[in-house]
Chains A and B, each alone.
Chain A
Amino acid sequence: MKELIVGRGLRKSFGAFEAVRGIDLTVPAGQVLGFLGPNGAGKSTTMRMLTGFLEPTAGTVHLDGIALADDPIAAKRTFGYLPEGAPAYGDMRVEEFLLFVARTRGYDAAEARRRVDAAIDRLHLGPYRKQLVETLSKGYKRRTGLAQAILHDPPILILDEPTDGLDPNQKHEVRELIRRLGGERAVVLSTHILEEVEAVCTRAVIINEGRIVFDGTPGELDSKAPGSVTRNRMDHVFRMLTTSDVREPAGARGGSR
């Protein structure tokens, strides 16, 4: 299997605080990786390094074989990215915003139009195409962000909380979409919903305080829970892995750099 995302030894410090403390992540084509961890664990920071928004303090990123540090423009063509909170230009209409992204990606007017129409169809944004982004509900804003990420049919998708703020119907639809997109792509999605991992992911990675504490299939995650636990077994494992009593003392935060 072709390794589409290769992150090696990724670290990121903000001043004295080290948010990401050595993460290795290799995602082959066909894998949908659920990226889990408590608030502030470093999920978004890691994704920002994978997409080249943040330069790692240490470590390297290769996307579809291209070194991000050597040829950032070519590397950025290989993925679609939904940043946390799905930022978009509020003063533009949905269609106008998507056309802007498509044209910025280098498509000519006709091709951009074709791709935007396809993405709008795929995310059922049709009735909203003429609406100002700032007046969209949270769910439709997120869909617009997803549409923007899949416009160019990239081999890699990096989605930071793609189902955050969606109602159960929309959550279901977006999960279906991600499953369908999965296919030959490498997908990394972060989420706080453990059932989501079970529903769409083929691999689960849990990070805590900037380090990977679990890496395996959703089934393996489930099986780590003691037999006595019958309900919300994955939640139990998540708590086990990320709220141990042997925590680092507060003073050690960032002390390694």
Chain B
Amino acid sequence: MSAPARIGPVFRREFGAYFASPLAGIFLVIFLFMSGIFTFQLGGFYERGQADLRPFFTGQPWLYLFLVPALSMRLWAEDRRTGTIELLLTLPVSVRDLVVAKFLAAWAFACAALALTVPLWITVAWLGNPDHGAILVGYLACALLSGTFLALGAFLSAFTKNQVIAFVLCGVAGFLLLVTGFPIVLDFVSGWLPRIAVEAISSMSALTHFEGMMRGVLDLRDVLYFVSLTVAFLFLNGIVVEWKKAE
């Protein structure tokens, strides 16, 4: 069977599941509202007198901290709680295909939400003369970062039957992944760690890589960072599913 035929049904079921509850609507409203606030209010859009999406992109990682866990928390925890995991794992599909299908469903939803912010882009294009190439790279950064967070969240969701726990774990882990690149944290550790260690920590941070791309710099190393981290989390996800399925 071809990959789309193997993955398609589970992908569609998982994508549809977001719309079976009020979650999709609530998620989209909060996401779009907060993205607007970041763009026009918190970012000092009017004061800066510059029409670009920098404030919008600056806000995205922090929005993802609590919105991505809302998407990823149910991915495995729900199947484990309701017992449908037993159904899934006794159908003729591999765990790898299930992991990929569930991840892609959540990521497709996140990317669709991101696409709904394009009116912000149109607004700044209308108000001024932004660098469209840079904005495109910024959007790519958002898609990659949300994918990495989702893979992390899916992996953590497989540890528990409790979606609230899955949500909190993902939020905390995502926060750690971000703050290791935070100036305060880096200043703090640079006091007692050698320079090379500080740089290693900083290069591990999702924020460091995100900020590079957010400024419009398309560096393959940043892309590679997000992609490899995503793949690594999905790989671990499969292992945890096998390990925890029967508990």
Q: Do A and B bind each other?
A: yes
- Which A positions have Cβ atoms within 8 angstroms of B? 48, 51-54, 72-74, 76-77, 81, 83-85, 87-92, 100-101, 103-106, 148
**A–B pairs, 7, beta carbons within 8 Å:** A53-B245, A54-B246, A76-B91, A83-B86, A89-B82, A104-B91, A105-B92
Interface residues of B in 91-125 (CB under 8 A from A): 91-94
Measured CB to CB, the nearest residue on chain A to B86 is A83
Contact of B84 among A73, A89, A106 (CB under 8 A): A89
Interface residues of B in 4-32 (CB under 8 A from A): 5-6, 8-10, 12-13, 17, 20-21
Query: In the complex, are the beta carbons of A106 and B86 less than 8 A apart?
Result: no
Contacts of B3 in A (CB 8 A): none
Cα–Cα, bound, A106→B10 (Å): 11
Contact of B83 among A72, A85, A101 (CB under 8 A): A85
Contacts of A88 in B (CB 8 A): 84, 87
Cα–Cα, bound, A77→B94 (Å): 12
- Which B positions have Cβ atoms within 8 angstroms of A? 1, 5-6, 8-10, 12-13, 17, 20-21, 82-84, 86-87, 89-94, 245-246
Query: In the complex, are the beta carbons of A51 and B90 less than 8 A apart?
Result: yes
Contact of B8 among A51, A72, A74, A103 (CB under 8 A): A103
- Other than the given A77-B92, A87-B82, A87-B86, 7 more pairs (CB < 8 A) read A53-B246, A76-B92, A87-B84, A88-B84, A89-B17, A91-B21, A101-B87
Query: In the complex, are the beta carbons of B82 and A106 less than 8 A apart?
Result: no
Contacts of A85 in B (CB 8 A): 83
Contacts of B86 in A (CB 8 A): 48, 53, 83, 87
Cα–Cα, bound, A92→B15 (Å): 12
Say how far A159's CB is from chain B's closest CB, in angstroms.
12
Query: In the complex, are the beta carbons of A52 and B90 less than 8 A apart?
Result: yes
Q: Known contacts A53-B245, A92-B13, A106-B5: does B83 contact A87 (CB below 8 Å)?
A: yes
Query: In the complex, are the beta carbons of B13 and A83 less than 8 A apart?
Result: no
List the 3 closest A-B pairs by CB distance, nearest first: A87-B83, A103-B9, A91-B20
Query: In the complex, are the beta carbons of A106 and B8 less than 8 A apart?
Result: no
Contact of A53 among B5, B8, B9, B90 (CB under 8 A): B90
